[in-house]
Amino acid sequence: MGIFSRVSDIVSANLNVLLDRVENPEALLAQVIREMEAGLARARRSAAVAVAGERRLQRERDDHRVAAEHWKGRAKKALAAGREDLARRALARKLEYEETANNLDELHADAALTSRSARAALQALEARLAEARRKERNAVARRRTAEVRVAVHRYMDAGRGDFGASLARFDRLEDRLIRHADELSAEADLHDPDNLEATFTDLDRDQAIERELATLKTEGL
């Protein structure tokens, strides 16, 4: 029964509490699953032995009861033939088989109880093993999700740096374009074939001089 005590310990363990106490629940779940699978294999072998023992005791008990009935029939036959001495011997053999059958009946009852306990332990262990496997799948899924989330954040952080560098580069290019446009404008002024801009400048200066001259004439008068 030692194996079933161990199985009971595994089944009664609170996986949720156990997982909360470790840093790497995924590794712990894998270890628990391996232990459960090994325990399940041993439990199945032990359960098979218990069930086989129950069946063997049942078969032996039934055989002894059949034999008891057989010697009871032989006793009747001997009595019908007027052989009471032979009938007594047959009845004595019948009682021997009945006594053995009764003893086997008690042993079979104990074996049947052990067999039922073994089956219940197996079912409980299989249910807990299925639960552990489900938790392992969930843990793996959560880990992969977390890895993707971390990768996305890292990519976004790197992307923000690249965006800042690109923006600075754009600003530098814009400044260069503005300076280039100013230079082209100045160059166009310098290469004005009709000297039109200079003519208008001279005109403005001449008009200013005439206004000053008019003012002086007025003051002199």
The DSSP code sequence of 156-199 is HHHHHHHHHHHHHHHHHHHHHHHHHHHHHHHHHHHT-TT-HHHH
Q: Indicate the length of the chain as a whole number.
A: 221
Same domain, 97 and 202: no
Q: Tens digits of per-residue pLDDT, 119-150? A: 888 888 888 888 878 877 887 777 777 777 77
Cβ count near 91 (within 10 Å) = 18
Q: In the chain, what percentage of residues exceed pLDDT 90?
A: 19
Q: Are residues 101 and 22 in the same domain?
A: yes
Assess whether 177 and 155 both reside in one domain.
no
Q: What is d(CA 78, CA 166) in angstroms, rounded to the nearest whole number?
A: 117
Q: Is the pLDDT of residue 4 over 50?
A: no
Same domain, 54 and 140: yes
C-alpha count within 13 angstroms, C-beta hemisphere, residue 56: 6
Residues 24 and 66 in one domain: yes
85 and 179 belong to one structural domain? no
Last residue of a domain, one of 147, 165, 183: 165
Q: What domain count does the chain have? A: 2
In this structure, the answer to whether residues 187 and 161 fall within a common structural domain is: no
Q: What are the residue ranges of helices labelled H in the chain?
A: 2-12, 15-20, 25-80, 84-190, 196-220
| Domain match, 103 and 189 both | no
Indicate if 40 and 104 belong to the same structural domain.
yes
Regarding whether 180 and 81 lie in a shared domain, the answer is no
pLDDT of residue 1: 44
Higher pLDDT, 202 or 8: 202
Output the CA–CA distances (angstroms, integers) from residue 54 to 111, 135, 140, 179, in the order listed: 5, 37, 43, 101
Q: Assess whether 84 and 187 both reside in one domain.
A: no
C-beta of residue 94 within 8 angstroms of C-beta of residue 64: no
Q: Which range is least confidently modeled, 82-86, 93-97, 178-182?
A: 178-182
Domain limit, last residue, from 165, 180, 209: 165
Range(s) of the domain holding residue 94: 2-165
Average pLDDT over residues 103-110: 91
C-alpha dihedral (150, 153, 158, 163), degrees to nearest 10: 170
Q: What angle do CA 56, 60, 63 make, to 5 degrees?
A: 140
CB 67 within 8 A of CB 37: no
| pTM, rounded to two decimals | 0.48
Give the residue among 121, 112, 118 at the shortest CA–CA distance from 48. 118
| 145, 165, 185 - which closes a domain | 165
Are residues 103 and 117 both part of a single domain?
yes
